[in-house]
Structure 1
Amino acid sequence: MTTDQSQSHLPLPENVAIRQALPSDAEAIHALLRPYVAQRSLLSRTEAEIIELTRHGFMAVRTVKNQNGQDREQCIGFAAIEMYSTKIAELLSLAVHHEYRNAGVGKSLVDHCVQRAHDLGIMEIMAISSSEDFFQSCGFGFSLPDQKKAFFRQLRPRHPE
């Protein structure tokens, strides 16, 4: 996606929508992330960190009926951006419930995060992930057009034993 394109909304499964995450969603988001943290696919986040991420985060929700026949939302996906400066932001904590993987939910969440970064005037957005093919399909590359590359040096283990 180039920065001058408007947000393209991808088709989503029936009864699924993307909306701004709210601090009150933190418990549901934490529950969604928990299996990915256990698999060491995502970093662990405290509830306070998740609440902060909702500021520029989006939730994929599925509308379901409760026992009383009333509609309620079920969290099936989440992603957020963290802004480091007006130059760069990072896409964080992208997770989609396993039943909704490969259904456009993850790409739609990324699309919303990229659009939020664009709307905030961010120059570059990065994602650190082992899902190379997925992020490349979302328009991310290993380097920027002017050939900037990211270099890393680990100072402590990502997952303490």
Structure 2
Amino acid sequence: MTEDSFTPSHPLPDGLTIRQALPSDADAIHALLRPYVAERSLLSRTEAEVIELTRHGFMAVRQEADKERCLGFAAVEIYSAKLAELVSLAVHHDHRNVGVGKALVEHCVQRARDLGVMEVMAISSSELFFQSCGFGYSLPDQKKAFFCQLRPRHPD
């Protein structure tokens, strides 16, 4: 299944669409991520990092008057043919709990699938949300992720 023919299983509200993110979307993506970074639920990203994420990133957009409004973003970072990570998932506060996040996750997982990636992980405090998207705490062969923090996530 190609990205062009992919339709998420979770319907979106009227007028909302998911599209491939573009490097020119970096400012809009940063604006969307900023409140989540401030509340420490997402890692801060530089403009260059956001631009790189658009390669395998998707935006939820709504056409308003003569411009598009960014209402959600997520990307899949491809580490190898074995592993990718879903990163920077954010949905505008006014558009949460209506399927936007799930549709973004499905697009990212489909991109990884299209690229032949074996496993996609998500590191998040939103356990129930990711479980509802088909993610689990461990893989069927009981692999688990372990972490060694080398520096604080957010400088104070």
Both proteins in one fold, TM over 0.5: yes
Deviations 1:79-131 (A, max 9, x none): 00111111000000000000110000000000000000000000000000000
SS where residue 53 of structure 1 aligns?
Answer: helix
Q: Which runs of 4+ in 1 moved over 4 A?
A: none
Q: Which residue of 2 aligns with 1:27?
A: 27
SS in 1 for 2:58: strand
Distance in 2 separating the partners of 1:60 and 1:156 = 32
Query: Please, which runs of 5 or more residues in structure 2 have no aligned partner?
Result: 1-5
Query: Does residue 18 in structure 1 map to residue 18 in structure 2?
Result: yes
2:82 to 79, 87, 109: 87
Residue 14 of structure 1 deviates from its aligned partner by: 1.2
Structure-2-length-normalised TM-score: 0.95
Matched, 1:124 2:102: no
Percent of paired sites with the same residue: 77
2:64 counterpart residue number: 64
CA–CA distance in 1 between the matches of 2:42 and 2:14?
Answer: 27
1:142 aligned partner: 137
Larger Rg: 1
1:43-89 superposed Cα distances (whole Å, 9 cap, x missing partner) = 00000000000000000001111xxxxx3210000000111111000
Closer, same or farther in 2 for the Cα pair 1:7/1:151, shift >3 Å?
farther
Aligned length: 151
Q: Which runs of 5+ in 1 are unaligned?
A: 1-5, 66-70
Q: Match of 2:115, as an amino acid?
A: L
1:7 Cα deviation (Å)? 5.6
Which amino acid in the other structure matches residue 146 of structure 1? D
